[in-house]
Chain A
Amino acid sequence: GAGVSQSPSNKVTEKGKDVELRCDPISGHTALYWYRQSLGQGLEFLIYFQGNSAPDKSGLPSDRFSAERTGGSVSTLTIQRTQQEDSAVYLCASSLTGSTEAFFGQGTRLTVV
């Protein structure tokens, strides 16, 4: 596709349920990033994939959060046993390499009730 695609655009889930958020990066981009943006806040780094290297998971807030990137393309961010504090917009971005501009998707707005 022409840009970074994220799905779903909105997700409402009950506390304690697991959710999966999907990111389709721009074709050919080797770097993929996940960020979280709470209401009125900045971007909180979650995880970074670069090619075949081990991902940088240093931003994941707890072991309830995990992410994978299959075939160097699509990525899934999984949140287990969701909590109300997980409510936020989850943004995915990709870049051609790790040193060029990142292109952002429109985000997934997660609401935990």
Chain B
Amino acid sequence: AQSVTQLGSHVSVSEGALVLLRCNYSSSVPPYLFWYVQYPNQGLQLLLKYTTGATLVKGINGFEAEFKKSETSFHLTKPSAHMSDAAEYFCAVTGYGQNFVFGPGTRLSVLP
């Protein structure tokens, strides 16, 4: 069985500040981890993914995430927030032969 938790349903940061969105997972098989972004009234778009190999992965729009097996975490970061980053962010986990399980989402607000 797999599950995902995202700490903080709503995160607010100032423009130019660090963005940190937290994701923890549980998985009975080696996990494949993903971050998706959903802009208002739009569909879900893949930000980045971890499958195997390098544990620090870079995605679009300057986001990156680090897979930490010992902490069962896959937190999403961006050094400097931009107004256009305001959106809903979903962490997801899957694995070989497993379903795609999404976390509840974190709404990011960027303040001017």
Contacts and interface: CB of A to CB of B under 8 A. Distances in A.
Interface of A: 33, 35, 41-43, 45, 48, 50, 56, 91, 93, 95, 98-107
27 contacts: A33-B99, A33-B100, A41-B104, A41-B105, A42-B90, A43-B90, A43-B102, A43-B105, A45-B99, A45-B102, A48-B100, A56-B99, A91-B43, A93-B100, A95-B100, A98-B94, A98-B96, A98-B98, A99-B98, A101-B34, A101-B46, A102-B92, A102-B94, A102-B100, A103-B46, A104-B43, A106-B42
Contacts of A91: 43-44
B: interface residue count bin: 20 to 34
Nearest to B4: A42
A106 B43 contact: yes
A57 to B, nearest CB: 11
A37 to B, nearest CB: 9
Contacts, number: 56
Contacts of A103: 46
Nearest to A56: B99
Contacts of B100: 33, 45, 48, 93, 95, 102
Given A45-B102, A98-B98, A99-B32, A107 B90 contact: no
A45 B97 contact: no
B21 to A, nearest CB: 14
Contacts of B32: 99-100
A26 B102 CA distance: 21
A48 B94 CA distance: 12
B101 A45 contact: yes
Nearest to A104: B44
Nearest to B92: A102
Contact of A99 (B46, B90, B94, B104): B94
A106 B44 CA distance: 8
